[in-house]
Structure 1
Amino acid sequence: MIVLAIDTSAIASAALIRCHESFSDAAVLASFATEDTKSHAEVLAPGIRALLDEQSVSGADIARIVVGVGPGPFTGLRSGIATARSLAFAWDTPLEGLMSLDALAWDAVAEGAPSGEFLVATDARRKELYWARYAAEGTLIDGPHVTSPGELPALPVYGAGAGIYPERLASAGARRVAAFDAAQPTAASLGLVAVARLAAGSQLPDTTPLYLRESDAQVPGPRKRAL
């Protein structure tokens, strides 16, 4: 069985995950991830097409689609979710969501890094971070949140968000993990998290995006009278 994972909460990424019908023995068949945080719409669909061609996989071979639902900026996050929804409709394939920060937590645990509770954080722009708190084995404890770096708990912080504001984190007692201070959520890790949870009998959430902020776009009010 093949699962297509997509995430655009920070960078644009996609991956093909192979696993048994019981969701056991998962492995990444192929993946791509950009470094650019602003070209999601341009690169995502061609990137997915290239992955399918590389593995000689068609839409009919995809048993499930999982998409990262953020938190993340509006434009980038919408690109991934809209693409996932479109493919799920076109291929008549089950579609589920998963919080993107869980992918970073998976990477941290896979490296054997955390010895206790830890945080993962990504750039929320406006001098803020998206973050969540996890137990040492990667179980979500709290979050997601969007706050200033100085409001994070005094714990180790994994992810690119920590690399942007190390001094402000330090002033709050938090500590960036240098080996992860450029790490972003990727579809490959998101897919592995999703398959592991399905194997454990858990249900995945729907694809409602976690924006955590109101949109900057506002509906125009009525025109003022000139006279």
Structure 2
Amino acid sequence: MLVLVVDSSTPAVTAALAEVTDRGVVMRAERRAVDAKAHGELLAPAVDAVLGEGGAHPRELGAIVAGLGPGPFTGLRVGLVTAASMGQTLGIPTYGVCSLDALGQADATGRVLAATDARRKEIYWAVYEAGARVTEPDVDLPGAVAERVAALGVGAAVGEGAHRYADVLGLPVRDEPRYPPAAALVGLAAERIRAKLPGERLTPLYLRRPDAVAAAGRKPVLR
């Protein structure tokens, strides 16, 4: 089954085409561009590009996998709206995966911290052991995370959030992955895809209120 993979939970805009079979997952094409301010402009062309490179028409897709975050409000919703709209238009199921879980699949000895940049000098984070999540996704100041992971016996970190605040976290940071790998995202959804489970509502993991909020009321006019 051909599966489209999208993730926009970080500054990296990712689109990929994968083939999920009973024997495993084969990546046919993948595009990634890093620009925190251009998710809306970059994702649709990336989807077109991976379909073209993989020799697939949208109507040949059997499912869509999307990274649910956590991530900043504006960028994250680009990927989820794209996935949900395509799923509805094509009549195919959509499956969500926590984007941190894809980072947490990185091979590491012992426990690893997966962290992405949450802006406001904070990080989204969770701890993993052998790919299994040990803590629930959260958002905190790097200093607070450093205290938590020290108590949990974490020995390494992955993700661009870990790179950005490596001096505060005090952990060895692996070069890769910096962003949620498409292969890990589809791999985490592969069992659901093979079982042809019903599609899921793509509920974003914001973990906090959006940066932009509606005005509470009209401002008084000074004369």
Instruction: Give the match for residue 213 of structure 2.
Output: 218
Q: CA deviation at 1:214?
A: 0.8
Q: CA deviation at 1:223?
A: 3.1
CA contact (8 A) 1:16 1:188 kept: no
Instruction: Give the match for residue 8 of structure 1.
Output: 8
Q: CA deviation at 1:140?
A: 1.1
Query: Are the structure 2 counterparts of residues 37 and 225 from structure 1 closer, same or farther at C-alpha, using a change threshold of 3 Å?
Result: closer
Looking at structure 1, the residues matched to 73 and 113 of structure 2 have their Cα atoms a distance apart, in angstroms, of 23
Query: Are the structure 2 counterparts of residues 53 and 168 from structure 1 closer, same or farther at C-alpha, using a change threshold of 3 Å?
Result: same
CA contact (8 A) 1:68 1:187 kept: no
Q: CA deviation at 1:200?
A: 8.8
Secondary structure of the structure 1 residue equivalent to 2:37:
coil
Q: CA deviation at 1:35?
A: 2.2
Secondary structure of the structure 2 residue equivalent to 1:65:
strand
Q: CA deviation at 1:75?
A: 0.9
Instruction: Give the match for residue 179 of structure 1.
Output: 175
Q: After the TM superposition, which of the residue ranges 203-212 and 48-57 deviates more from structure 2?
A: 203-212
Q: Could you list the per-position Cα deviations for residues 80-126 of structure 1 after superposition, in whole angstroms to 9, with x for gaps in the alignment?
A: 001001111111110111100111112x12xxxx1112110011111
Unaligned runs of 5+ in 1: none
Q: Could you list the per-position Cα deviations for residues 58-80 of structure 1 after superposition, in whole angstroms to 9, with x for gaps in the alignment?
A: 12211110100100011110110
Identity value in percent? 40
**Pair 1:145 & 2:138 matched:** yes
TM-score under structure 2 length normalisation: 0.87
Aligned residues: 214
Matches within 5 A, 1:1-227: 1-10=1-10, 11-20=12-21, 22=22, 24-106=23-105, 108-109=106-107, 114-135=108-129, 137-152=130-145, 153-154=149-150, 155=154, 156-170=156-170, 175-180=171-176, 183-195=178-190, 206-223=201-218
Q: After the TM superposition, which of the residue ranges 145-154 and 199-208 deviates more from structure 2?
A: 199-208
Looking at structure 1, the residues matched to 219 and 104 of structure 2 have their Cα atoms a distance apart, in angstroms, of 51
Looking at structure 2, the residues matched to 131 and 225 of structure 1 have their Cα atoms a distance apart, in angstroms, of 41
Query: Are the structure 2 counterparts of residues 13 and 221 from structure 1 closer, same or farther at C-alpha, using a change threshold of 3 Å?
Result: same
Looking at structure 2, the residues matched to 100 and 205 of structure 1 have their Cα atoms a distance apart, in angstroms, of 16
